[in-house]
Each structure stands twice: as C-alpha cells, then as structure tokens.
Structure 1
Amino acid sequence: MDEKRDFVMVTVSGPDQPGITSAFSKILVDNQVEIVDIEQASLQDFLGLSFLLDMSGAKQSKDGVLKDLLFEASRLRLTLNFRLFSEKEMKARNNKNLFVLTYFGDTRALLEISNILAEENANIEMISNLTRHCASCVELTIDVNGVKNLSHLKERVLAKSHELNIDLALQKMEAYRKNKRLVFFDMDSTLVDMELIDEMAHRAGVFKEVSRITEKARRGDIDFEEALIQRVALLKGLKVEELERIRNKMKLSAGAEDLVETLKGLGYKLGLVSGGFDYFANFLKERLGLDFSFANQLEIKNGALTGKVLGKIVDNTYKAKIVNMVSSEEGVLLDQTVAIGDGANDVLMLGQAGLGIAYNAKEKLERAANMSLGRARLKNILYILGISEEEMGSWNVCDRPV
C-alpha cells in the first residue's frame, strides 16, 4: 500500500432527515476527497452514518476538510467524530471473511448467540432487523477471519438454536447474495407431515416388522437401499385402494401450502426429491403445481403391490445427483438452489445445495446444513430467502411468537 495515502474514519449520529448524505458528499466532492467505504442506518429516526475517507488527494489540508464537515454537522444538529485509520486496519478490512447469521428469536437469543460469537472470536459487523413490525427475525453480518474452527462455531450456534427452540441460518456472504431460484423438497416428514411407508405398513399389518428394519437402517446396520427393498417386500399384496385412501388423507406440514404458493408466485422452480414413493409424490406434484418430482417407483400388478421397486433407488447419493442434474437443466448455479429435508438420506442433497435446510432434523443432518428449522415453522424460510413482508402478504413471522 502507498504509505502516502491518508485515511480517516468519520462517524455521524443524530436525528435523521432528508439531505444529510447529500450535504456531506458535496463537501467531499468539492475537496476531492474519495469515499473508500460507507455505511448508514436509521433506527426510529435516529441516524448512524460512517464514512471511510481517502484524504490523499484533498484540495485543502486534512484539518480544513474535517473543519468543514464539523461545521456542516453542527448546522444539521448532528454529532460528528473522526479518527485516523491505520494501514494495518485497511489491510484487515480487505481480508474479511464474511458470513450472514439469521435467527428468529428474542433478546435472550441475541445474548446467547453474541456470547458464542465473542467466545469464538467472530466479530459482528452489522445487525439489522428483517421484520418491519417486530424484532423476531434478526440478521447479523459477522467476520470469521479470527475464528480458529468455523465448523465448531457452526455446531455451537445450531446447538444453541435447539436449546432456545428458535430457527437459525448461517450462510457465507457470497452464497447469501446470490438470489435463490430452485427449491428441492423432501416429502415424508418435510413437505408432508407423516411417514407414508408407516401408514402403508399399518394397512398391510406389518408395522412392527417394517419398524424393525427402519431402526436397523437408522443404526447403520443396513444401508437405505437394502432397507427400502426389505420393507417394500413386506408390503406385497397391499391393494391400490389402500394406497388411494392414504393418498387422499395425506397431511401437509403446517405452512407448506402457503410456502409453495408464495414461492411459485415469485417465479421459483419447485419440486420433490423423495426416498418415498412415486404414487404419492406424483399426486402431490399435481396437487401443489410443482415443477418436478423424483421418487421410487412401486411395481403394481393386478391392482396390488408386488413387493418390488422398479428402476433406480432414490437414495442419499442419487438425491445429490438429482440436485445437480435439475440445476444444470434449468441453467441455475448450485449456489442458487435450496434443499429442505429431515433425515440421513438428505445429507448429500443438503450439502450440495447453496442453502441446505435441516427441517425438524437430527444432529447428523444439521452438520451438512446451513439452517436449522423447527417443525411447523416453514414460513421462516421466506425471510432467509430475502422475501419481503409485502411479497408474503399477510403471511409473516410477526403473526405469532417464535
């Protein structure tokens, strides 16, 4: 850096009114002083404005420029402070590693989260409220350049969100700034508030047997594909009429229909990527007007299940491939995708997406996710995507306490 360059940080505060930025900018232009960085916020008509100025090419002395700025601040009934900004500070400013942490909670949540950030040496650069009429959704821009272990920081804040029963997301700034365009939903216990294979097992009279296999898969004794094949084999003979009854009684997760309708209205592409069954996924695709659906195909002959699955099994790996394939077909970057799931079979899909959301999920899935989201709080996704309350209509987070 050129040692002759002369930097000054100027901060202004006081009652807000139109014309403040214009008045200070005119003084700087008249004196050939360049703004290197600028930030302004107004809370309840109280202004906070900061300029980082390069005084190297100023027409008059630094003292003369600062005197003009102080005079203008006095005229506008504002308080102005300044200090020299060192070369070391300039280098640090250019080496920031910024993340955006968004949470839905109260003042206790701010205390607990800010304590963790301080202990992990993460600096809060900016705090803003994303809701107009309540402080339920707060966004922190944080610099993690001094953090020794970013994974440990993420684990701590997500664990704290569980403890406080709040939703929380942590995204890298570059990914956060990219507008999301494509959303992948898991089906069972995510978009639908039920496990459909359990309903099928009940009607086939094999619930205990199916549950034992499910538990083996959860423990890691057998993989997802083998577990699925064994469970479907037990469903052999289940009539299509029973599948139809289950389908007609499918219960959507709270807020799912409104979430889909809002995102569709804003031009998002939406679809299902499920380790469940196409009989239900295709019905849901038509019912909600989704753009695509991927799920396992049940073989049906003579009006009943044969106990076999046709084609490729939609497992953990294949889900991630589907995210890549659909994104490529739609011409959408992975950073512009969102994946929402609840189980171990969603780990790779969530890790592949620009924003991976663990919905009412276990700790293993959260390690791959950017966001932890509680049950029945799907609407909070809209705030994370930067959708305004006007675009949500009457459906916003201030309708109830989080």
Structure 2
Amino acid sequence: MSAAAPARGLLVSDVDSTFLTQEVIELVAEHAGVRDRVEEITTAAMRGELDFAGSLRARVALLAGLDASVLAAVREVLVPTDGAIELMRRAHDAGWVTALVSGGFHEVIDPLAAEVGIDHVVANRFAVQDGKLTGEVSGPIIDGEAKRATLEELAERHGVDRARTVAVGDGANDAAMVRAAGTGVAFRAKPALREVADVVLDGPSMLDLWPYLEGAPVA
C-alpha cells in the first residue's frame, strides 16, 4: 500500500479569543464566582507580562472545588468567532490539515472541534477527583513552546513543508507558534503578538485569513 499523499497545507489556530470570542477559563471561573480575578491574570498573561504556565496554574487553582458538571454548561455558551467555522471547513475541503492548539481545555473544546470536523486538538485538561475540579492541571501544560512544537510535529507528520503552514493567534503565548509558521497571523491581537506576526488582521471575520492559505482558491 502506498503512503498517503502529503496534505496541501496545515492551518493551526489558537482557541481563546481567536477561534472563540471568549476565554474558556473565564467562563468556567464565572461559575466559581472568581471571574474578575481570573480575567486580570489572563489579560496580564496575554500581554506577555506573566509566564503562561504559572499564570494558568494560578487561574486553575482558583477553581478548586468547583463541580465538574459546570463544564457541560460552559460548552453550551461557546461563541465561535465570525467566520471561524467556515474557514476551518473551507481549508479542510481544500486538502489542508486543520488543528486547534489551545491553552484552554479539552473538556470544553473537543465536542465543538468534532462537530466542525477539525483534525487535531491539543489543549490542557482539568484534574478532577470525586466529580470536582482539584485546582490543578492534569498533564503537561500547553504553553507557547508546546504550541510551537505541535505545529512543527503536525507539519512533519502530514508531510507539509513549513512554508505551507499558517498559524493564527491573539496573545503572547502564540508568538513562538506564529514565528515558526510559514505565515504567522495576529488576529485581533495584543501588541506582543502583532510585533512578530507576518500578517496582522483586525477582523471581524476569520475568513479574512482565507487569501493567506497559499494554494487554496480565493472565494
């Protein structure tokens, strides 16, 4: 049996405030009554003022004791960014591999990604014991370097030349991934990411990325 042909390209998107209009951990924090504090830490991390891994641990710690059933409620209120789902579906139909790489959480993101038909999801996981969040992250934290490594690993796995990779994000923790991509896109982004991106887009629609998927037909 012959090996599968390489994909036409690789499109990797951040999730919070990029593929989604919201920050997932802030939606969870609202159920714990600590949204304001979590928002403060998130904002500082996205500006590059705090180490992402440390900031994530601090935010998740504030959720200790929260019933894990709230994650289903959070999934029900997710709002994809205008054009995000259509962009992923167009890319997939054009022969591109699609991926979400997130500092957010599998428990919330996975069902939507499956519905859209996204090929890969890499994210964090909440540690849960006796049906409640422990306040810790389960497994390695998906920080900026993990995002970069994921882009490189997926490109190699699918036989995609680095020049045919597109990565899009909004915050400082997306900078390494955006720099590593053939085309790095800052979408409605913080200054820390805008400074290193090849392309800066201010939206409102993620379909504005479509012309940058080299080789894909422009509608």
The verdict on a shared fold, with TM-score over 0.5 as the criterion, is yes
Q: State the alpha-carbon separation in 2 of the partners of residues 372 and 220 from structure 1.
A: 18
Q: State the alpha-carbon separation in 2 of the partners of residues 363 and 216 from structure 1.
A: 12
2:2 is the alignment partner of 1:190: no
**Which residue in the other structure is 1:265 paired with?**
93
Sequence identity percentage: 35
Deviation at 1:383, TM superposition (A): 1.9
Instruction: Specify the code of the residue in structure 2 equivalent to 1:207.
Output: R
Moved over 4 A (4+): 218-221
Q: State the alpha-carbon separation in 2 of the partners of residues 292 and 184 from structure 1.
A: 9
Q: State the alpha-carbon separation in 2 of the partners of residues 263 and 311 from structure 1.
A: 30
2:55 is the alignment partner of 1:227: yes
Instruction: Specify the code of the residue in structure 2 equivalent to 1:321.
Output: A
Deviation at 1:253, TM superposition (A): 0.5
Larger relative contact order (Cα-Cα within 8 Å, sequence gap ≥ 6): 2
Equivalent positions of 1:110-149 (< 5 A) are none
Q: State the alpha-carbon separation in 1 of the partners of residues 140 and 210 from structure 2.
A: 33
Q: Greater CA radius of gyration, 1 or 2?
A: 1
2:58 is the alignment partner of 1:243: no
Name the structure with the higher strand share. Answer: 1
2:103 is the alignment partner of 1:275: yes
1:125-168 CA-partner distances (Å, limit 9, x unpaired): xxxxxxxxxxxxxxxxxxxxxxxxxxxxxxxxxxxxxxxxxxxx
**Which residue in the other structure is 1:99 paired with?**
none
Contact 1:217–1:227 (8 Å) recurs in 2: yes
Contact 1:224–1:315 (8 Å) recurs in 2: yes
Q: 1:325 to 1:279 in 2, by over 3 A?
A: same
Q: State the alpha-carbon separation in 1 of the partners of residues 110 and 171 from structure 2.
A: 21
Q: State the alpha-carbon separation in 2 of the partners of residues 211 and 284 from structure 1.
A: 23
Q: 1:380 to 1:215 in 2, by over 3 A?
A: closer
TM-score w.r.t. the length of structure 2 is: 0.90
Q: State the alpha-carbon separation in 1 of the partners of residues 18 and 119 from structure 2.
A: 17
Instruction: Specify the code of the residue in structure 2 equivalent to 1:353.
Output: A
Deviation at 1:216, TM superposition (A): 4.5
**Which residue in the other structure is 1:214 paired with?**
42
Deviation at 1:209, TM superposition (A): 2.3
Aligned residues: 212
2:120 is the alignment partner of 1:292: yes
Q: Provide structure 2 residue ranges, at least 5 long, that are not aligned to the other structure.
A: 1-6
How big is the alpha-carbon RMSD for the aligned residues of Structure 1 and Structure 2?
1.8
Instruction: Specify the code of the residue in structure 1 equivalent to 2:100.
Output: L
